[in-house]
Amino acid sequence: MNFGGRRLYDGSSIFDPRVGWMSVTPELLGSLIDAHGAALRLFARQWCDTADDVVQAALVSLARQSSVPDDPAAWLFRAVRNGALSARRSEMRRKSREQLAASERNDWFEADTETAVDASAAVAALNALPDELREPVVAHLWGGLTFEQIAVVAGISSSTAHRRYEQGLRQLRERMEPSCRNKNL
């Protein structure tokens, strides 16, 4: 990706042999927000309510880095993961379980009637998944991360990430079968 004569994030490592590692520029931040903003928010939303704050903190933290990480997308997802888990611990202290269940409103996906599945049913099914199965599904399906990147983010092997992804999809299929039948899937 080129913008204004500068090489921006294109999903690969940002290393220019002429100048070394690029520093985090506003253009790079903007391109990362465009490419991963919604996915990062969804990735954080699976753990906490304050997803936007977590994403913003991760982007600001990236901007403070002296050099661009080897894989900015994986770095951001990992930073968002850490921030979201920390925010969830804070929320758990503040809220009771009933309040947590009441706060699980459908702000995960766009309210679009043209989708093959009901968004609310998908959110309910995703919420019912264990964290270790939901994380690779969200990261791969909507975040666009490879299983190698998910392995880096979650601290597991890529084969484990793939196995959990497949297992998560199987469980989602079982939970969403009624809504899929309603949508004539």
Interface ranges with other proteins (CB under 8 A)? 24, 26, 29-30, 33, 37-42, 45, 51-52, 55-56, 59-60, 63-64, 107-110, 112, 114-117, 119, 122, 137, 141-142, 147, 158-159, 162-163, 166, 169-170, 172-173, 176, 180, 185
What's the CA gap between 142 and 42, in Å, rounded? Answer: 8
Of 88 and 147, the one with the shorter C-beta distance to other proteins is: 147
Which helix (H) or strand (E) segment is 64 a member of?
none
Of 115 and 127, the one with the shorter C-beta distance to other proteins is: 115
Q: Which distant-in-sequence residues (6+ apart) come within 8 Å of 4 by Cβ?
A: 27
Of 42 and 74, the one with the shorter C-beta distance to other proteins is: 42
Q: Supply φ then ψ for residue 3, to 5 degrees.
A: -145, 115
> Least distance to other proteins from the beta carbon of 52, Å?
5
> Least distance to other proteins from the beta carbon of 145, Å?
13
Inter-residue contact 24 to 68 (CB < 8 Å): yes
106: closest CA among 46, 54, 177, 53? Answer: 46
